[in-house]
């Protein structure tokens, strides 16, 4: 899913992000399949982006109301075109909000966060807040990427660290996935929040891309946004991107097609 939750995250580029929409949707489908129908209940989709998956989530789970939350004005501009009153189906609305501080204003039957939690710190505190906003019998469903040790991601951090002069204050930012905990840690948090048997799994998604350079474009539409924001100027970011592409090509080669393996943690709990 899409969001720009953290302060300092640059303007999201919906078209660039959507280039791999089909591949990014597979974990959403898996996470949705882990959820029970909510039969007219209230669903919050945290990191809703352009909103199409919020609508699909509400319809697939038979929600009465779905509220998409995002902090990207660009994403919300598109999402709000999909807002609608009930008219026999789920009512859909979209709001600007900060995932790190979010608490449902109406008791939620489901808090759903697909590829968004990793943008914030202190996941234990965040999950405690989300849990506190659930109705009796409410569900938490969360998916987080944990691909920071993949060569394409590692090189992004290494090239930034080798070229600090390209970034403001000489300090490139960390990759967002460095905030992600181990699967067993999340299981422990969900258990301490009151779920006797949370479902937590680590899955490897295999995406056949046209080339290794396509994997660079993949993370350019997400994780590299923080590097773009932290760069001194556009020329500095272009220099960083050139060095990064060269490092990927030198390490991975010009594989065509390129198998981009992507690890994600999926978790679900009912309270």
pLDDT for 261-271, tens place per residue?
999 999 999 99
Predicted pLDDT of residue 11: 59
Q: What sign does the dihedral 34-104-175-180 (CA atoms) show?
A: negative
| Order of strands across the sheet that contains 258-270 | 91-96, 65-70, 42-46, 108-114, 134-145, 258-270, 199-209
> Which residue is associated with the tokens 């609608």?
84
pLDDT surpassing 70 at residue 8: no
CA separation for the pair 239, 225 (Å, rounded): 15
Tell me the β-bridge partners of 263.
204
SS3 content of the chain, % helix, strand, coil (to 5): 45, 25, 30
The per-residue pLDDT for 12 is: 65
Contact 143, 266 (CB under 8 A): yes
**157-163 average pLDDT score:** 97
């Amino acid at each position: 899913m899409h969001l720009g939750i953290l302060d300092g995250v640059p303007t999201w580029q919906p078209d660039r992000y959507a280039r791999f929409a089909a591949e990014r949707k597979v974990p959403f489908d898996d996470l949705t399949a882990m959820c029970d129908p909510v039969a007219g209940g209230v669903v919050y989709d945290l990191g809703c982006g352009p909103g199409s998956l919020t609508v699909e989530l509400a319809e697939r789970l038979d929600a009465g109301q779905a509220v998409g939350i995002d902090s990207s004005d660009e994403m919300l501009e598109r999402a709000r075109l999909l807002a609608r009153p009930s008219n026999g189906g789920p009512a859909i609305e979209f709001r600007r909000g900060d995932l790190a501080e979010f608490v449902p204003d109406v008791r939620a039957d489901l808090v759903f966060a697909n590829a968004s939690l990793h943008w914030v710190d202190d996941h234990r505190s965040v999950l405690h807040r989300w849990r506190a906003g659930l109705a009796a019998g409410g569900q938490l469903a969360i998916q987080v990427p944990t691909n920071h040790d993949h060569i394409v991601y590692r090189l992004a951090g290494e090239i930034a660290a080798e070229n600090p002069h390209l970034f403001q204050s000489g300090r490139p930012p960390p990759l967002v996935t460095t905030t992600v905990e181990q699967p067993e840690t999340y299981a422990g948090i969900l258990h301490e929040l009151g779920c006797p048997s949370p479902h937590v799994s680590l899955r490897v998604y295999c995406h056949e891309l046209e080339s290794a350079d396509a994997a660079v474009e993949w993370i350019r539409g997400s994780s590299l946004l923080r590097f773009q924001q932290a760069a001194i100027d556009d020329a500095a970011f272009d220099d960083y991107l050139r060095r990064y592409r060269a490092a990927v090509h030198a390490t991975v080669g010009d594989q065509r097609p390129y198998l981009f393996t992507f690890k994600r943690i999926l978790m679900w709990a009912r309270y």
